[in-house]
Amino acid sequence: MSVKQRLEEIFRDVFEDDELEIYDEMSAKDIDDWDSLTHIQLILEIEKAFSVKFTIEEITKTRNVGEFIELLTSKINK
Amino acid sequence: MNDTELRNALGNIEIEDYLGILKLGKKLIKTIKATEQENCIKIAVLGSCSIQHLVMALKVFLLKYGIQADIYQGEYDGIEMDVLSDDSDLYKFDPHIIILMTNYKDIKIVPGLFADKDEIELHLKREEDHYRNLWDHINERCKCHILQTNFVIPTLRVLGSLEYKYIFSKTNYIQNVNQRLLDAKPNNLDFIDMDFIASYVGKNKWFDYVAYFMSKQAFSLEVIGYVADIIAKMIAAHKGYVRKCLVLDLDNTLWGGIVGDLGFEGINLDPNDPIGEAYLSFQQYVLDLKNRGVILAVCSKNDLDIAKEPFLKNKKMILSLDDISCFIANWEDKASNLRQIAGELNIGVDSLVFFDDNPVEREIVKRFLPEVWVVNVPEDPAYYASALAFENPFEWSYITKEDISRSQSYIHKRQMTLSSLSYNDYNEYLQDLDMQATVKNMDTADFTRFLQLINKTNQFNLRTRRYNEAQIEQFRTDNNYRLISISLSDKFSEYGIISCIILKKIRNICFIDTWVMSCRVLKRGIENLAMENIIMSASEMGCDKVVGEYIGTAKNGMVKNIYTEYGFKPLNKTDEIYKTDPESDLYILDDLSSWTKKPYFIITK
């Protein structure tokens, strides 16, 4: 599975929506449920699933799903 | 999520599964609207740091322990705001319980380097006054119970190892603040020992600096389960939802091995063996629990006498029969037995904690008695004590002398009444077993088993005569001897040959040379069947008297008086038969028709 597919699974799980499709420009304003609390939950799930830990800078500077996929891809390739 | 799904999810929730906990917490917020239910308690959570995730997790664990809660969530860093304003939302909410989630960073001023005792005392007084002020404010406006976290001693140790040595160090100061507040607390306040939880999970794991700087979390969300569980347990205990009784299995739980096979001396409690030591260590932990007021019960699949033997005769046992308030050993299912234990002790089934090494037994109890707390027992006995400690099912609000003496009184009550079932019940049970026996003259096919039983049985063994193959073969072909084997089956199992008898005809006397029985099948009436066959055989052999001898050993005390039970009379000697050794006891049945028949519920094939 690609990073995008794995990420999509996590999004579907967190937002409890099996039909959810993520896209590069997607960000918190695109989903009702995506508040700061859910954001923390998302980060935790992603960190666990990919066995990574994000830095403060990475969390604050990533503005949408596309940048997130890039970030993840580079982290797991390190 | 429907009710059953919810119950399953709650039952299976694991403290380490922080993602699962947060997911479930989120679901609960959506599906359960706070209602004015009768049992609903109002809990206010106030904190110096972010508490939203804690509230989510708390909902999960409160529900797990049977508590419906309506939760008021304070603002970020809002303790003073809510507590010190007369018309705050907190007081409008009128909570039953207020939880104060403090943080060590609340302590803004610490003693300077080289501060002396007097200067430190001024700092301590200031902290004490600060919190007394908060507590007084609360108690003037609420009739509630307060839970407050103590301070987790941080690991950013400026003095390094010298933090321990110098009284002015931040480490020692915060420790002193904790102690000071504990001494100063009002009666309606209990401290949550956060420093312990942090130590338990490891402070490296506890402190998550990214999470603190990003979203002001006091601790890593990975440990949210630990925190929520302890708080929920404390609240449940405060409400009186406590567990009182630890029900223990025996084989491979309190000792290594199966006592029915190995005998009370063969079970592993060897302090020089790592496995034996692990079991001893677990017994000690269980004894410590009993000494603080936890009631102990035993629920074992064993014959009662066999189950009790290690308690009575194995010197390595740490637990004694006197420590057990209710001792059940039989072949019934454990769910029924647990109900019986609860009934006998006059406590609810929801008061029981069940510890059994066998996952099948645990599953059965979980299924049929979901109110029982079933400990997740690890495979390795090395971890038995720590697994029980981790689950911490006996969280109480306080310990009193009455708690200790109450468990003692259960034990006294048990000792005074006759143990477990009445006579009639036991006979019904025996009938229910559908026992079938085959009694026959030993043939060559049974030779090995016959030999084995004679040579390895110690307890139900009248004369402990050991014979080798040649001797047995000699008896078998001698007309003056009868070799009888009894095999048994019941509705659970085939046991094969479980009793061997060697009879010797000496003129008109039938002498019982050997009588052994496997201890797996004691107290089932087989000895009564055996005696009946002994007398029948005596008659067939043309004898009109039967003589038996008991030669006492360290292990066969259980059969010391068995001949008198069947109406035999003590005998010094006859012309033909003498005591084998001066200490042995001889008995004679003068009249074959006048022996004391005893009932058995066994069909002979």
State whether B210 and A54 contact (CB < 8 Å).
yes
Best of A16, A32, A37 to substitute, by most chain B Cβ atoms within 10 angstroms, is A37
B461-491 pLDDT per residue, tens: 999 999 988 999 999 999 999 999 999 988 7
B54, B60, B66, B69: CA torsion to nearest 10: 50
A44 closest CB neighbour out of B19, B52, B213: B19
A76 touches chain B (CB under 8 A): no
A51 touches chain B (CB under 8 A): no
Could you give the CA distance from residue A41 to residue B221 in angstroms, rounded to a whole number?
9
Question: Tokens for B26?
Answer: 């989120």
Contacts A–B by Cβ distance under 8 A: 29
The dihedral region occupied by B263, where left means phi > 0, alpha psi between -120 and 50, and beta the remainder, is left
Beta strands B494-506; B569-571: pairing state: unpaired
State whether B210 and A48 contact (CB < 8 Å).
no
Could you give the CA distance from residue B142 to residue B165 in angstroms, rounded to a whole number?
42
State whether A45 and B215 contact (CB < 8 Å).
no
A5 touches chain B (CB under 8 A): no
**What is the CATH number that goes with domain B245-420?**
3.40.50.1000
Q: Are B572 and B534 in contact (CB under 8 A)?
A: no
Counted residue by residue, chain A has a size of: 78
Q: Are B206 and B219 in contact (CB under 8 A)?
A: yes
Q: Are A45 and B26 in contact (CB under 8 A)?
A: no
ipTM of the complex: 0.91
Chain A CB contacts of B23 under 8 Å are: 13-14, 41
Phi then psi for residue B151, to 5 deg, are -90, 135
CATH architecture of B3-238: 3-Layer(aba) Sandwich (3.40)
Per the listing, tokens 């937002």 go with A15
Domain positions in chain B: 3-238, 245-420, 429-604
State whether B53 and A60 contact (CB < 8 Å).
no
> Concatenated DSSP letters for B46-65?
EESS--HHHHHHHHHHHHHT
A56 closest CB neighbour out of B23, B52, B210: B210
Could you give the CA distance from residue B251 to residue B295 in angstroms, rounded to a whole number?
20
Counted residue by residue, chain B has a size of: 605
Query: Which whole-number Å values give the CA distances from B244 to B108, B126, B404, in the listed order?
Result: 43, 41, 11
Query: Which whole-number Å values give the CA distances from B312 to B104, B285, B309, in the listed order?
Result: 53, 20, 5
A59 closest CB neighbour out of B22, B214, B221: B214
CATH architecture of B429-604: 3-Layer(aba) Sandwich (3.40)
Best of B17, B23, B24, B217 to substitute, by most chain A Cβ atoms within 10 angstroms, is B23
Q: How many CB atoms are located within 10 Å of the residue B288 CB? A: 11
Could you give the CA distance from residue B205 to residue B197 in angstroms, rounded to a whole number?
11
Give kind and range of the element (H or E) at residue B478.
none
Phi then psi for residue B407, to 5 deg, are -65, -35
Residue B600 identity (one-letter amino acid): Y
With 0-12 / 13-18 / 19 or more C-beta atoms within 10 angstroms meaning exposed / middle / buried, residue B598 is middle
- Identical fold between B3-238 and B245-420: yes
A40 closest CB neighbour out of B23, B213, B215: B215
Phi then psi for residue A61, to 5 deg, are -85, -15
**Global pTM value:** 0.70
B263-268 contact pairs (CB < 8 A, 24+):
B263/B309, B263/B458, B263/B459, B263/B519, B264/B306, B264/B309, B264/B310, B264/B312, B264/B313, B264/B314, B265/B313, B265/B314, B267/B310, B267/B314
Q: Are B247 and B353 in contact (CB under 8 A)?
A: yes
Q: Please tell me the distance in Å from A25's CA to the nearest CA on chain B.
A: 23
Could you give the CA distance from residue B360 to residue B480 in angstroms, rounded to a whole number?
51
Q: What is the pLDDT of residue B420?
A: 47
Chain A CB contacts of B22 under 8 Å are: 41, 44
CATH superfamily of A3-77: ACP-like (1.10.1200.10)
Q: Please tell me the distance in Å from B26's CA to the nearest CA on chain A.
A: 9
Q: Please tell me the distance in Å from B398's CA to the nearest CA on chain A.
A: 36
Chain A CB contacts of B53 under 8 Å are: 37, 40
Regions of chain B short of the pLDDT cut 50: 36, 417-423
B398 contacts: CB under 8 Å, gap ≥ 6: none
- Name the residue in chain B with its Cα closest to that of A13: B23
Q: Please tell me the distance in Å from B311's CA to the nearest CA on chain A.
A: 49
Q: Helical H runs in B417-518?
A: 423-432, 447-456, 469-476
Domain positions in chain A: 3-77
Chain B CB contacts of A54 under 8 Å are: 210
Q: Is B394 helix (H, G, I), strand (E, B) or coil?
A: coil
Per the listing, tokens 């430190």 go with B120
Chain B CB contacts of A14 under 8 Å are: 23
Q: What is the pLDDT of residue B402?
A: 66
State whether B221 and A44 contact (CB < 8 Å).
yes
State whether A56 and B214 contact (CB < 8 Å).
yes
Looking at chain B from residue 351 to 370, which residues have their Cβ under 8 Å from any Cβ of chain A?
none
Q: What is the pLDDT of residue B452?
A: 83
Chain A CB contacts of B210 under 8 Å are: 53-56, 59
State whether B19 and A60 contact (CB < 8 Å).
no
Q: Is B493 helix (H, G, I), strand (E, B) or coil?
A: coil
Q: What is the pLDDT of residue B39?
A: 66
Q: At what angle do helices A36-50 and B18-31 cross, to 10 degrees?
A: 150
Q: What is the pLDDT of residue B367?
A: 87
Q: Are B293 and B327 in contact (CB under 8 A)?
A: no
State whether A59 and B26 contact (CB < 8 Å).
no
Chain B CB contacts of A9 under 8 Å are: none
B18 touches chain A (CB under 8 A): yes
∠ CA(B444), CA(B447), CA(B451), 5° rounding?
Answer: 160
Question: Tokens for B86?
Answer: 């007369």
State whether A40 and B26 contact (CB < 8 Å).
no
Q: In what order do the strands lie in the sheet with B373-374?
A: B326-330, B295-301, B245-248, B352-355, B373-374
